Structures are given as structure tokens and as C-alpha cells.
Amino acid sequence: MNKTKLISEEIEREALISLHKHCPLETAQDLGLYMLEVGDAVAAASTKDPSVVINRTLGLGTLFEITQETLSNITKFYRDLDINKFFLHVYPNEMADNVPEMLEKEGLQKSRGWMKFKRDNSPPLEVLTELTITEASTAEQALHFGRIVANAFGMTENSAPMLAGLADDPGWHIFLSYSGDTPAGAGAMYVHGGSAWMEWGATDPNFRRMGSQAAIMSARIQKAIELGCKRMFTETGEAVEGDPQHSYKNILKAGFTESVLRGNYTLKK
């Protein structure tokens, strides 16, 4: 695996671990959060929130060869928790010839992939919007972030405090847009090892087409530059026919370029 892909996978892995680590204990219990490290992979799960942004395994095949034993341990982890919907991230062009057969043996089938993007530290475009963009500095603002993101990603309301908990990790920087005093949009950035990972971009449906996401992305890029980040990464669903690809287009407009398409595998129905 080339260095850029390895770095982007490492920072996303650390961001996912942070999500669990900084989740308030009561919320973690309410959500039934679990995490398992298997070789180079991290498997995350929630028995009470079915969203695949929580129930997913990443890092597989980045440092070690994928084995049947590793795949069996991962699928057993989810089956033992009675979780039938999860994403197993795999880079198709990094797979050995026998990996598709191993995935098939575990009852896994290919689903829509996620495109990863990369960016250098060139200045962001200026974005004009009537919304106010701010970096979260209070518990109330962190919860505003959590509620917007949970709703946008189809997560349960109980997941909002988990997302708000990211504010307790100094590696995370949380941004919000406001229309007056009303939260309109959200986005977060995780900094690790001189790189920045842009995640959790979301907009309240009542404030779409007001430039929220573009402005928040611009603010995150500027913050990354100020913090000395040389590389920036993000991702969204792969381009498919019939999907308007709003997030995909916004990412490209922000100066990111396509890096690699990561495959998603899920259990057969």
C-alpha cells in the first residue's frame, strides 16, 4: 500500500478510536458500543444504533495480509452482537487473488464503495454565505454538532452525545454554521501526525443551499493550514448513476482530488 493511502487509513482509524474513547460512559452503555482490534483492523459496533458509520471495520489489509482467520474473527464479532448490517472496508486493488473467495466464504458481498480524497495545504477558496461559521467552544455547541450530524447520517438521537464527546479530544476541531442563534450545519476535523481528516459534514435540511458545507470545509482547511498540516483527507460515497452527488462535488470544489475507491462489503441478506 502506498504511503498516501496508508496515512489516510491510519488517521481515519485513530479518529474512529477517538469517537469511542471520548463517548460519555452512560451514552456508550445506552448505545451498546463495542470495539475490537484484529491485527491491523479496528471493528466498531453499536447494538442500539444500526448506522453503518458506527458499525464498520477499517484498516484491514493496510499492514498485514488479509487472512480467513481475521475475516472470521470480524464477522463473528458482529454476529455475536446480533448485528447484521455493517461495512467491512477493503481496498480492491490491494487484495490478493484469494481474498474475494475468502469474503464469499464469510457470507460477505460488495456494496456501494466510498471514495477517498486527498488535498495539499494550498489556501482554501473564499466562500460567501449569510451564515455565521464558528469553531465550537462550549458543551452546548458540541451538542448542536452532535444533533445535526446524528440526524443527517441516520443515527439515533442517543448518538448525539457520543458525537459531542469529540470536543473532549484536543485532536478534534468542531465547526458549526448558524443562522442567527439556530444551528444550521456542522463539520469536524481530526489532526494527527501532520495530517487532517475531514469528517462528519452535515446540514440541517432547513438550511440547505445556503453555502454551509462549503463554508465549513473552507474553515477546516484554513484551520489545518494554521496547525501546520501538510496533507488533508476526506471521503464520501462513490459516484453512482441517479445520485446528485452534492457532497462529492463540494469536496472537489474545495480543492480535493480523488485518491482511491475503497470497497465496502456487507453480509448477504
Cα distance between residue 264 and residue 65, in whole Å? 18
Whole-model pTM: value is: 0.95
Q: What is the pLDDT of residue 233?
A: 98
pLDDT tier, 47 (very low <50, low <70, confident <90, very high otherwise): very high
Q: How many whole angstroms separate alpha carbon 225 and alpha carbon 120?
A: 9
Q: Which fold has domain 132-261?
A: Aminopeptidase (3.40.630)
pLDDT of residue 168: 97
The mean pLDDT value for 106-117 works out to: 96
Residues in contact with 166: Cβ distance below 8 Å, sequence separation at least 6, in sequence order: 18, 19, 22, 142, 145, 172, 174, 188
Alpha-carbon distance 143 to 216, whole Å? Answer: 17
Side-chain half-sphere exposure of 28, counting CA atoms within 13 A: 13
The pLDDT value recorded for residue 3 is 86
Q: Where are the domains of the chain?
A: 3-114, 132-261
Residues 184-216 pLDDT 10s:
999 999 999 999 999 999 999 999 999 999 999
Burial track 136-152 (b if 16+ CB lie within 10 A, e otherwise)? beeeebbbbbbbbbbbb
